[in-house]
Structure formats: structure tokens, C-alpha cells
Amino acid sequence: MTAFEIEPGRLFVGGQWREAADGARTEVVDPSRGRVVTTVAEAGPADVDAAVRAAREAFDSGRWSGLSGRERGRILHRVAELIRENADELAHLESLDVGKPITLCHAVDVTNAANDYEHYAALAFALDGSTRDTPLNALAYTKREPLGVVAAITPFNFPLILAGSKLAPALAAGNTVVHKPADETPLSALYMAGLLQRAGVPDGVVNVVTGTGPVAGEALLRHAGVDKIAFTGSTAVGRHAASVAGENLKPVTMELGGNAAHIVFEDADLEKAVGAVIKGFVFNTGQFCMGGPRLLVARPVYSTLLNILADAVPGVPLGDPRLPETVVGPMAGEKHLHKVEEYVDLARKEGARIVCGGERLDLDGGYYYKPTVIADLANDSRVIQEEIFGPVLTVQPFDTEDEAVELANSTPYGLASGVQTGNLARAHRIADRLQAGIVWVNDWAMLDPNVPFGGVKDSGFGREYGPEGLAAYTRTKSVVVSLD
């Protein structure tokens, strides 16, 4: 199958494939070549309404929520099996749609998506409540119930994984879902709709509406038939989504922007630290909300580490994502490329030193930018304080633990952080002080479906993954039975 044989996509509503009510379609572009590869239906308010109604009917009928957790778990386990059986197709779609290196699509995106469904399949078996001791002459117990219709709105950078991190727990808990993927990267969401149906998920339980945020996304956020909003995306859009949810008193989880600090102390193993630092800022071409774009280095090893980065970063394989040796692919779209260029230009204007990179790579008409390391910027620079979302690393020195923590916590974000040190007591001490939902020590991006992640401050609230991720899609009901 070549990059130009992708079938045109349609909406998936009530178990049926259909065109948008007004016939609108939008183009899907391969970012490695800047070419249109297919089109998908562009949902409008009428299509969103149809999807929510289908999800509501499926929920109210009990054909999913009425199943036991064990029965739902068996079906979700079959979803995981189908993801693995169709790994080549899913990896191809994700690489084509986002520009991800095909090797990483297999090793990271497809693998983690399968693990998500497998993990929540197991948790669905154990979804229960508890009895509560009281002085009443009564039996008191709690039940965990599904919320109803979930609006899952996912971003462009990890379409497959971040859809799974929402759909898997939502379904395990017995909810139904309307999924609105990013308008730029809808292909794996549509493919997954077919796999979910094949696995035995009943019609109407999962619906997929492709389209733009201002139209389809907004209609979904405001629909009265939605019971919960699960959103991953930018902080700016997340603020709006949370405000709409607040107006309608709907529970939300918000996984938003990040600008993580990666702290390297003088007692760190520099060889291992450099590997983690590079992975932290070039993984997924820097389009990773839990990436590590801010490097803080103890002054005694600051110059040494900069020199190592200057030698090592240009050697990271950058190019065609379909080649197995490629580590860094293109940006996911032209607007993302321009945003990175603007930040690097701003750094130059502020007198920064471009240690390496700092320019785009012209290749096949794609949206490539060379991994870039920047030094000598003031901490209040926008380049340091704002989320660039590209393969750009800023490097700052520090002299004390207190200064390192102060710098790390100095941005509005708090999604992830990292510490490189050979001192175990220091690792725990610093981790306790970092304002972040997850802290990695002596590596980066160690993620597993059993370990929750999420943000503080402008990085959002609520947690995905782990039992906490499942709890976010349930509500607790208390039952008190008189024994008189």
C-alpha cells in the first residue's frame, strides 16, 4: 500500500459509515512531502448531534453499560489483540498522518495503544465499590457507575495513543463515546472505529466525527447530551473547553500544554544523561507535551554538556519517516514548522547562541526542522517560558539545588520534569519540590498504562492511565439499607 492509496474517510455514527450532512470534506496532508493523501468528511453540528444521540441511545439501552465488567473486559482485550494483528496498517497510517518515523510508530504508538486497551480490560474485571462501616443500623455500600456519554477530544501529536488513553477507560467503565480527533490527523481514529466494531463493541457505543475544532469540536463541547469531556490539547483551547464544561456543570479531565525542565546535576552519569536529554526534546520531533525542552545544568558540567550536545545532536538521523533508520521526522504541519522558526528567530534577536541546528531542512517538500540547541537566554525569555512544541532545547546553568528548583518551577506549566543525578537522596528531595504531575529520574518518558500522568498549573487537571484514569470515567453512588 503506497502513501497515496488511503481511502477517503467518512464519519462513524451509530455503527454506520456516513458522509457529513452537508457533504463537506477536508484534506489530509502527508507532512513528510506536503501533499494531500486523501480527504475525510468534515462534520458539522448536525453530524455531532447525530453522533451524540447514537451514543445516548446506546448508553440508555444498556447494551454496553449493562454488560458485566468481565464481559466488557473480554471485548477490550480483543481490541488489544486486533491492534497488534493490524500493527503494520496502524503504524503506516500514523506515520503518514503525523510524520512519525515508522520504527517509532511500531515501537511506541501501536504498542502503547494495545497496552492501553489490555490494561483497562483487566481493570474492567475489578471495577467495584466497597462497604462502609457506620454507627447506623444499616448496611452502607458504594457502587461505581459510568457517567454516560463521553466527549473525547484528542490532539494531532499522538492520535492513536491519546485516543486509547481516553476510550479504553471510558469503555471499561461502561460509558459510550463520541471521539473528535484532531482535524489534521484523523486517519488512525477512523481505522480504530472499524477495529472496535470488529472486536464486538456494539453499534453506537463508539462514534467518530472528524472535522474542525471551531465547528465539530465546539458543537461537541456544548451538546446537552454529553455527560463528560475528556480533552487533550493546548492550554488556550483547554481553558475554553473547561469554561464551557463549567457553564454546564460537566466533569472534565484536561491534559494540556507542557514545558518541562530536565535537571542535570554534576554527579550525573553524563553519557546516560545526554541520551535522555536528546530523547526528551527530539522525540516525536519535539511535539510532545511531556517532552523536555528546557535543560538546566549544574555549572561545573555546563560547558562540557553543551559541547557534547553540539557534537551529538546533529548526528541524530533526520529525514523520511518511512525509512527504518529515521529518528526525527517532519513537523506535523506547515503551521507548526513556522511556529518553531518564529521562536528560533526570536532567540537570535535576543542574542542567544545557537549551539546547533536553527534552520529547516529542505527535503521532498516536507516540514522538516533540524534539532536545535540554544544557550545564553535570560529565564524570562518567551523562548524559555512558552511552549514551542518542536525540536528545540534551551540550556541554562545553575549553581545550587534551590536555584535549579526555582528555574524548573518558573514557567506556568507543570506536566512533567526530569532529574539526572547519582545521589538517590537528592533525586527524592528534588522530585518532592518539582511542580509537575510526573517526575522521571535518570531517564525520560518512562510511561506505562499503570502509572498515572497529568498536569498541575496551566498543564491541566485530572489524571490519565492507572486506576486513577478509570476512576475519572465513573461516579460513586452510595446505598444505605436499613436493617430495622
Catalytic residue among 100, 228, 289, 356: 289
Q: How far is CA 114 from the centre of its chain?
A: 15
The three three-digit cell numbers of residue 426, written as one number: 537528592
Task: Label the pairing between strands 353-356 and 372-375.
Answer: antiparallel
SS3 content of the chain, % helix, strand, coil (to 5): 40, 20, 35
255 given a catalytic annotation: yes
User: What's the rounded Cα separation, in Å, for the pair 378 and 356?
Assistant: 19
The full DSSP string for 410-452 is -SS--SEEEEE-S-HHHHHHHHHH--SSEEEESSS----TTS-
User: What's the rounded Cα separation, in Å, for the pair 191 and 173?
Assistant: 23
464 given a catalytic annotation: yes
Q: HEC profile for 330-343?
A: CCCCHHHHHHHHHH
The three three-digit cell numbers of residue 248, written as one number: 454546564
User: What's the rounded Cα separation, in Å, for the pair 9 and 396?
Assistant: 46
Sign of CA dihedral 229, 233, 238, 240: negative
Catalytic residue among 255, 356, 370, 387: 255
289 given a catalytic annotation: yes
The three three-digit cell numbers of residue 206, written as one number: 463508539
Angle formed at CA 310 by CA 359 and CA 275, multiple of 5 degrees? 105
Catalytic residue among 100, 118, 166, 387: 166
**Nearest CA-CA partner of 390 in 464, 314, 313, 338:** 338
User: What's the rounded Cα separation, in Å, for the pair 98 and 108?
Assistant: 14
**Nearest CA-CA partner of 45 in 227, 206, 223:** 223
Mapped onto helix, strand or coil, the DSSP state of residue 54 is: helix
User: What's the rounded Cα separation, in Å, for the pair 111 and 119?
Assistant: 12
341 given a catalytic annotation: no
The one-character DSSP state at 37 is E
User: What's the rounded Cα separation, in Å, for the pair 35 and 55?
Assistant: 35
User: What's the rounded Cα separation, in Å, for the pair 146 and 127?
Assistant: 10
User: What's the rounded Cα separation, in Å, for the pair 130 and 463?
Assistant: 22
For 109, phi then psi, to 5°, come to: -65, -55
Catalytically active residues are: 166, 255, 289, 464
